[in-house]
């Protein structure tokens, strides 16, 4: 290890700001403001937790998938989510927090995950709708993050986004296949879209005038677009998709606005959104109990692995 002269803080800060201004990456060993580090840990952890909690709503349909092919696709998809969790926890580790610490913060209710996963999955069509709308919204949120200012996060997101695009396609393909099936299946798809459309819009977060962290995150290059910009983009992209599928989006205010060159649309129920954020959503308690149980039931296994590794080290030492 070499010791270098530590420049005074103002130079460090100026260097950091200059890197951001040049649209270059901040890397783990670069100096960064404490607020930047904290914001990143919060965002990456929340993202990682979302991947892991997000395994549950779809995972519960693996054992009921109606064909061997669908079962393989769903199992592989949920497995990918575990993989995304791994990349993201690894990115967070470069900021000095361990996977275990973050998991324990989640289980203690001190860190959040995406509220979308507090909605229940009630039919097999939900597997398709989650792929199409939920993963679609996630991609809109996440593609800009491939260019986020923190290197390890941006690189993890490139891989995550590639796999998410694939997930979205499988969801859309499932819905399209079901729409070619029976009347019951078409009704199942419509019912599912009716339930998930508004929660999908909530995934972009509160309206810009009610989003306290957006300005700083954009100045730091962590976030690249505002919540409302991304929501608009998502609506504009989803409308033709819904038409092609033959489903109706459940918003009476949804219509093309020639003047703006965008669709106008209604607002989701932000009060319901806040209930989910506060822990009172339909499945918050269930999701947390599941994650806590899996973590606690695995404790003796992780302890055994640690003890075995220590014994192996002492044998070879």
Partner 1 sequence: MNEHIHTTPEDEHDSAYSGLLVNDAHWAFGTDFEDPLAGVDTSIPDGVDAPVLAAYALMLGDDALVMSHRISEWTSNAPDLEDDIALSNIALDLLGQARLLLARAAKADASVVPALPEGSPAPPEDALAFFRDAHDFRNVRLAELVNGDFAEAVVRVLLFSVWRLATFERLRSSRDHVLAAVAAKGVKELAYHRDYSARWFVTLAQGTDESRRRLVAALDALWPLWPELFDTHAVEAAAAGAGVGVDPASVREAAEGVLDQVLAAADVPRPEAPRRAGVLGRTGRDGMHGEPLSLMLAEMQSVARAHPMGQW
Minimal distance, residue 194 CB to partner 1, in Å: 20
Contacting partner 1 within 188-247 (CB under 8 A): 233-234, 236-241, 243-244
Q: Does residue number 297 form part of the binding site for partner 1 (CB under 8 A)?
A: yes
Q: Does residue number 73 form part of the binding site for partner 1 (CB under 8 A)?
A: yes
One character per residue 14-53, x = contact with partner 1 (rule: CB under 8 A) = --------------------------------------x-
Q: Does residue number 303 form part of the binding site for partner 1 (CB under 8 A)?
A: yes
Which residue, 115 or 170, is less far from partner 1 as judged by CB? 170
Among 46, 177, 211, 275, interactor with partner 1 by CB under 8 A: 177
- Cα 18 from Cα 32, distance rounded (Å): 12
Among 78, 92, 203, 283, interactor with partner 1 by CB under 8 A: 78
Contacting partner 1 within 263-292 (CB under 8 A): 263, 290
Partners of 26 in beta bridges:
150
Q: Which residues contact 161 (CB under 8 A, 6 or more apart)?
A: 139, 142, 143, 146
Q: Does residue number 169 form part of the binding site for partner 1 (CB under 8 A)?
A: yes
Which residue, 1 or 301, is less far from partner 1 as judged by CB? 301
Q: Does residue number 162 form part of the binding site for partner 1 (CB under 8 A)?
A: no
| Spatial contact of 302 and 103, defined as CB atoms under 8 Å apart | no
Minimal distance, residue 135 CB to partner 1, in Å: 8
Q: Does residue number 184 form part of the binding site for partner 1 (CB under 8 A)?
A: yes
| Tokens (6 digits) for 90 | 């690894």
Determine the size of the site formed for partner 1 (CB under 8 A): 75
Minimal distance, residue 256 CB to partner 1, in Å: 6
Contacting partner 1 within 237-256 (CB under 8 A): 237-241, 243-244, 256
Minimal distance, residue 87 CB to partner 1, in Å: 10
Scanning 17-25, 26-34, 64-72, 267-275 for contacts with partner 1 by CB under 8 A, the matching segment is 64-72
- Cα 28 from Cα 67, distance rounded (Å): 45
One character per residue 111-130, x = contact with partner 1 (rule: CB under 8 A) = -------------x------
Among 82, 187, 215, 219, interactor with partner 1 by CB under 8 A: 82
Minimal distance, residue 99 CB to partner 1, in Å: 8
Among 30, 93, 104, 173, interactor with partner 1 by CB under 8 A: 173
Q: Does residue number 260 form part of the binding site for partner 1 (CB under 8 A)?
A: no
- Cα 39 from Cα 220, distance rounded (Å): 10
């Amino acid at each position: 290890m070499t010791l270098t002269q530590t420049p005074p803080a103002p130079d460090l800060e100026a260097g950091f700001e200059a890197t951001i201004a040049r649209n270059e990456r901040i890397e783990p060993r670069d100096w960064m403001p404490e607020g930047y580090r904290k914001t990143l840990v919060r965002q990456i952890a929340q993202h990682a937790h979302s991947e892991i909690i997000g395994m549950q709503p779809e995972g519960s349909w693996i054992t009921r998938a109606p064909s061997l092919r669908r079962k393989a696709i769903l199992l592989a998809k949920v497995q990918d989510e575990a993989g995304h969790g791994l990349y993201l926890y690894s990115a967070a580790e470069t900021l000095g927090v361990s996977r275990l610490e973050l998991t324990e913060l989640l289980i203690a209710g001190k860190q959040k995950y995406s509220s979308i996963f507090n909605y229940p999955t009630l039919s097999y069509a939900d597997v398709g709708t989650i792929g199409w709308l939920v993963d679609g919204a996630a991609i809109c949120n996440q593609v800009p993050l491939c260019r986020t200012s923190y290197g390890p996060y941006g690189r993890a997101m490139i891989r995550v986004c590639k796999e998410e695009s694939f997930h979205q396609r499988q969801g859309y393909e499932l819905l399209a296949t079901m729409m070619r099936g029976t009347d019951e299946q078409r009704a199942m798809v419509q019912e599912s879209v009716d339930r998930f459309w508004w929660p999908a819009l909530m995934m972009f977060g509160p309206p810009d005038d009610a989003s306290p962290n957006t300005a700083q995150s954009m100045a730091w290059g962590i976030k690249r677009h505002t919540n409302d910009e991304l929501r608009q983009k998502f609506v504009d992209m989803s409308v033709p998709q819904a038409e092609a599928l033959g489903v109706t989006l459940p918003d009476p205010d949804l219509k093309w606005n020639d003047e703006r060159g965008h669709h106008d649309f209604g607002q989701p129920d932000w009060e319901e959104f806040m209930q989910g954020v506060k822990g009172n959503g339909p499945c918050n308690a269930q999701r947390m109990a599941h994650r806590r149980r899996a973590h606690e039931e695995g404790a003796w296994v992780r302890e055994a692995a640690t003890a075995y590794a220590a014994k192996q080290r002492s044998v070879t030492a």
